[in-house]
Amino acid sequence: MKTFVFAAAITFAASTVVAQCFPRDALVQSLTEQHAEQVTGGGLRSASLLVELWTSPAGTFTIFTTTATGVSCIVASGQFWQNHQLTPEPDPQL
């Protein structure tokens, strides 16, 4: 029994480390067609790495990075995404 639990723990740990990477076009097609997600935010992490947030009206979300060569890797995905309104800072010159 202990051997099985140990093996299962190793399998779980190894599976959580594996990156899910795809050509960006294929990932975007899947997100739009299968999950009704659309891009809602993003930015540059560096000159060669784009970070994007895709969300759906149902609350699903996917965060992924894309390299300059067009390879996208999923960083996180889940359910119950909530957008929050940003409060603008007052302009000190007014």
Q: What is the pLDDT of residue 6?
A: 37
68: three-class secondary structure by DSSP: coil
Q: Which amino acid makes up residue 46? A: S
Identify the pLDDT of residue 17: 57
- State phi, psi for 12 to the nearest 5 degrees: -65, -45
- In the chain, where are the structural domains located? 20-78
pLDDT in 10s for each residue of the chain, 94 residues: 333 333 333 344 444 556 799 999 999 999 999 999 999 999 999 999 999 999 999 999 999 999 999 999 999 999 999 988 888 888 888 7
pLDDT at 19: 74
pLDDT at residue 16, rounded to an integer: 55
Task: Tally Cβ neighbours within 10 Å of residue 66.
Answer: 22
